[in-house]
C-alpha cells in the first residue's frame, strides 16, 4: 500500500513553536503517568529573580529575596561580575505534614550576574528592604559616557 501525504500551506496560522510546546505537554503527561502523579517540572527553586538596569553613573541590580535577612546574604563584586549567594530557610511544619501545594523552596543559592561594563568594586552599596535587595554598582570612569565638544 502506498501512502501519500499532502501538505497544505499554513499561511502563518501556526507558530514555529506550536509543535514543540505540544511535545513538551505530552512529555509532562507521560512523566506524570510514569511517576505516579509525583512528577513536577523543574523550577527555579531558590534562585532569586533579578532586574539589571543602569543610568549614567551606576548599574542597579534588584533581586527578589522574600523572607531573607541581610545576615543570610553574601554579596561580592569582582571584574565585571556581581555574585549574590545565601540560603533560604523555611521552617518545617512537622514530619506528618502532607503538602497539597509546595511552591516555596528552601536551600542555598548562588547567582552570578555579568555586568555590561567595568565597575568600581570598592564603591558597591547594597540595601535589603521589604524582600527586595537593591545593589548600586558605580561604573568605572572608563565605562562612563564622555561628552565630546564639537569644534
Residue 56: closest CA among 129, 135, 125, 117:
117
pLDDT score for 21: 80
| Verdict on whether the full-model pTM lies above 0.85 | no
Q: Is the pLDDT of residue 85 over 80?
A: yes
pLDDT score for 121: 92
Residue 48: closest CA among 131, 116, 125, 124:
131
pLDDT score for 2: 63
Q: Is the pLDDT of residue 130 over 80?
A: yes
**Band (5; pLDDT cuts 50, 70, 90):** low
Helix (H, G, I), strand (E, B) or coil at 71: helix
pLDDT score for 48: 86
pLDDT score for 12: 55
Render 4-49 in DSSP notation, one character per residue.
Answer: -------TT-S-TTHHHHHHHHHHHHHHHHHTTT-------TT---
Amino acid at each position: 500500500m502506498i501512502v501519500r501525504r499532502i501538505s497544505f500551506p499554513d499561511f502563518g496560522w501556526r507558530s514555529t513553536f506550536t509543535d514543540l510546546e505540544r511535545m513538551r505537554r505530552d512529555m509532562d503527561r507521560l512523566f506524570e503517568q510514569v511517576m505516579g502523579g509525583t512528577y513536577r517540572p523543574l523550577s527555579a527553586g531558590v534562585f532569586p529573580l533579578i532586574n539589571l538596569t543602569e543610568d549614567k553613573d551606576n548599574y542597579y541590580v534588584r533581586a527578589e529575596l522574600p523572607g531573607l535577612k541581610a545576615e543570610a546574604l553574601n554579596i561580592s563584586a569582582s571584574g565585571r561580575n556581581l555574585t549574590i549567594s545565601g540560603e533560604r530557610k523555611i521552617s518545617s511544619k512537622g514530619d506528618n505534614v502532607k503538602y497539597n501545594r509546595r511552591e516555596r523552596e528552601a536551600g542555598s543559592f548562588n547567582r552570578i550576574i555579568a555586568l555590561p561594563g567595568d565597575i568600581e568594586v570598592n564603591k558597591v552599596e547594597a540595601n535589603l528592604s521589604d524582600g527586595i535587595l537593591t545593589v548600586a554598582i558605580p561604573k568605572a570612569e572608563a565605562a562612563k559616557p564622555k561628552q565630546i565638544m564639537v569644534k
